[in-house]
Amino acid sequence: MSVSYEYYKIFYYVGKYKSFSKAAKVLMNSQPNITRTMNNLETELGCKLFIRSNRGVVLTPEGEKLFLRVQAAHKQLQMGEAEIDAAKTLQSGQISIGFSIGIAEILLHDKILPILHDYHLLYPGIRIQIINDSTPNLITKIARGMMDMAVVTTFAKSKSTSQETILNSFQDILIAGPSFAHLKDRILTLAELVQYPLINLWRGTETYEFYHEIFSSHGLPFEPEVETATTDQVLSFAANDMGLGFVSPEYAKASLKKGEVFQINLAENIPMRSISLIYDTERPVNIAADMLKDMICHTAVGAV
């Protein structure tokens, strides 16, 4: 049985007001149309729903049972409409945004945090969930609809099918601590570099894959002695003479200024990488997330 929703809508108002004429007035319809529709509903259901009289209508036992169900459905629809209205005005809701481990963390603290601050002031009812993970994991979560958007580091071999908006680009430098001071005035080749202990983000991150690709293209192994969880740890381990590590100039700026680490010059050029905002255009995000996405994309993030 497939009864028109419009029949149930009219039935709800007739049952609520116990009157065809009042229901017609609320629905801005004519009483003959209301009466005809209720006759059709009774015919389709095969039972009497109303007892008609000069004083209005009374629901039959079958009508009472149906009215309780229709009334509950009507309330659910009203709640749904209210939620949509709230989302349209960004009064409530939740968004989730990921940041890849490494350089994207700089953007979170120095560039995107002010955007999130402004967004929160504009829409205090929206809950914001921040997730840190590797770029591959974040890309997978975007594809599966588990996250609204993510700020990630990417390079040419990335295979994301999500929409990508490049925010800026950066180029790493090689740093080391005091124990490697004898390398200050030298220009190292990658072939020479593999003789020294290397520090890098853990296997499975975009940064690890990036350097594995570079070394492999020169026929060299890439086997870091220390694999860390964050770029901050790469910097700390290098400053404590645990080895040589690649970080962005922005990340190392304070430590370079303090003399905790120094830059080592390389003969080969380290390719530029991009920092991008990714999202899945085939899975439309809610209005709140779409607004934040636009704010991030349309705000000058600046170079890292």
On whether both 205 and 163 belong to a single domain, the answer is: no
pLDDT 10s digits, 2-15 = 788 899 999 999 99
pLDDT 10s digits, 77-135 = 887 787 677 666 677 788 999 988 865 566 666 788 889 999 999 889 899 999 988 88
On whether both 139 and 285 belong to a single domain, the answer is: yes
Choose one of 65, 88, 111: the last residue of a domain. Answer: 88
The domain total for the chain is 3
Rg (CA), the chain: 31
On whether both 104 and 161 belong to a single domain, the answer is: yes
On whether both 201 and 141 belong to a single domain, the answer is: no
Domain enclosing residue 188, as ranges: 173-271
- Asked, for residue 303, whether it belongs to a domain, the answer is no
pTM, two decimals, is: 0.65
On whether both 72 and 207 belong to a single domain, the answer is: no
- What crossing angle do the helices spanning 287-297 and 61-88 adopt, rounded to 10°? 10
**Which CATH number goes with the domain that contains 123?**
3.40.190.10
On whether both 180 and 267 belong to a single domain, the answer is: yes
On whether both 162 and 287 belong to a single domain, the answer is: yes
